[in-house]
């Protein structure tokens, strides 16, 4: 394999990993704090992508579309949290998984009835390429990676430097004590859920130009996101970042070596990791609340 191919492969993997990270962080945060598995993050991803498509079609600016997508998705996730998840927090884990899956396929139905079944292309905002070590790299992919790293930094600062973030971290450790301190945990839940949904919308908006937007895009992402979350360990943010980039690299470099490997290798790795360490790389030992 020559270096040019390798460099572009690694960068492709990093940008894939960034998208994976932005989506998986939502699932991971929701699991860590509220002990729910929120499959509807995949719906917010699709909605983010579709809003980006529509707005960029009307105004011609993709970035405006991404912003609008994040806002819309934030509002939708707020509504979903208030009306549905608020009622099922204290039930079993499998329960939230099924309910959120219902929201997911219901939402996919709504998307189909609004935008139709045909996959649609989103215009790439910048087609310039820069030269790194003799390889032409599209700038857009670099921007995606930069945004993912910024989001990681932002979340890290939010969780470590603000009082709400500290309360969320404490909630991940021990929910009852946080409640005992007089903090309204349900407000924390809402904030976390909206953050998670907004980030998924951002991931959808950014991923739109790289793939076509189609109604099933969320379902197609599902196995990969599951995998990222499992390898990293549910509830861990650092683990999610590392495993997202790991999976991205495996998908991208695997496809350079042997095409079918790209789809299967991550799953094989996941099975191996789970057999060695049943909670994922950085998962907590905590079983159920």
Partner 1 sequence: MMNMFRWWWGILLAFFLLAVLRVFLPLPFSNEIILFSIYVMGCSFLLGRLGMLSFGQPAYLATGAYATAFYLFYFGTNPYIGILIGILAGLLISLIVGPLFVRLRSDYFALVNLALAVIIFYMMQTVLAGITNGDNGLWFLTNMAPTPVLDLSIQDQFYIFAFVVALAIWALYKYLDDSLFGACCLASKINEDKVNFLGYSNFRIRLTAFVIANTTTALAGSMYAVYLGFVSPEMTSAARAADPIVVTILGGVGTLYGPIVGAIAYTGMKDVISGLIGNWELFIGFLLVFIMLAGEKGIWGTLEPLLKRALFRKNAFKPER
Contact residues toward partner 1 (CB under 8 A) are 31, 37, 84, 87-88, 92-95, 97-99, 101-110, 112-113, 216, 219-220, 222-223, 226-227, 229-230, 234, 259-260, 263-264, 267-268, 270-271, 274-275, 278-279, 287
Distance of closest approach, residue 140 Cβ to partner 1, in angstroms:
28
Residue closer to partner 1 (CB basis): 202 or 234: 234
**Cβ at position 236, least distance to partner 1 in Å:** 14
Residue placing its CB nearer to partner 1 in the complex, 10 or 219: 219
Q: How far is the CB of 83 from partner 1 (least distance, A)?
A: 9
DSSP helix, strand, coil percent of the chain (3-state; round to 5)? 75, 5, 20
Strand-pairing partners, residue 131, are 136
| Minimum distance of partner 1 from residue 288's CB (angstroms) | 8
Which CB atom, from 105 or from 126, has the smaller least distance to partner 1?
A: 105
Could you identify the residue written with the tokens 């189609």? 214
Contact 93, 288 (CB under 8 A): yes
What is the residue-wise DSSP string for 24-75? Answer: HHHHHHHHHHH----TTHHHHHHHHHHHHHHHHHHHS-HHHHHHHHHHHHHH
Tell me the three state secondary structure of residue 123.
coil
Phi, psi angle pair for 214, to nearest 5° = -145, 160
Nearer to partner 1, 153 or 264 (CB): 264
């Amino acid at each position: 394999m020559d270096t040019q191919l390798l460099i572009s492969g690694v960068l492709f993997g990093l940008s894939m990993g960034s998208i994976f990270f932005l989506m998986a962080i939502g699932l991971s945060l929701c699991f860590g704090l509220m002990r729910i598995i929120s499959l509807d993050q995949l719906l917010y991803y699709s909605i983010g992508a579709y809003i980006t498509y529509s707005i960029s079609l009307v105004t011609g600016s993709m970035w405006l579309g991404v912003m609008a997508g994040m806002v819309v998705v934030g509002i939708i996730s707020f509504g979903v949290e208030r009306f549905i998840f608020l009622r099922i927090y204290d039930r079993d884990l499998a329960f939230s998984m099924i309910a959120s899956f219902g929201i997911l396929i219901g939402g996919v139905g709504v998307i189909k009835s609004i935008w139709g079944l045909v996959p649609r292309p989103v215009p790439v905002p910048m087609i310039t390429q820069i030269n790194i070590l003799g390889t032409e790299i599209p700038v857009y992919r670099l921007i995606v990676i930069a945004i993912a790293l910024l989001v990681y930094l932002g979340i890290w600062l939010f969780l470590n430097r603000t009082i709400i973030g500290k309360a969320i971290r404490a909630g991940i450790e021990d929910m009852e004590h946080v409640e005992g301190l007089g903090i309204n945990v349900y407000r924390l839940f809402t904030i976390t859920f909206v953050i998670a949904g907004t980030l998924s919308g951002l991931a959808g908006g950014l991923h739109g130009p790289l793939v076509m937007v189609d109604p099933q895009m969320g379902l197609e992402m599902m196995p990969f996101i599951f995998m990222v979350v499992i390898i990293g360990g549910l509830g861990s943010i650092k683990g999610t970042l590392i495993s997202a980039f790991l999976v991205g690299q495996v998908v991208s470099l695997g496809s350079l070596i042997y095409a079918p490997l790209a789809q299967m290798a991550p799953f094989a790795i996941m099975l191996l990791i789970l057999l060695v360490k049943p909670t994922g790389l950085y998962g907590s030992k905590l079983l159920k609340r």
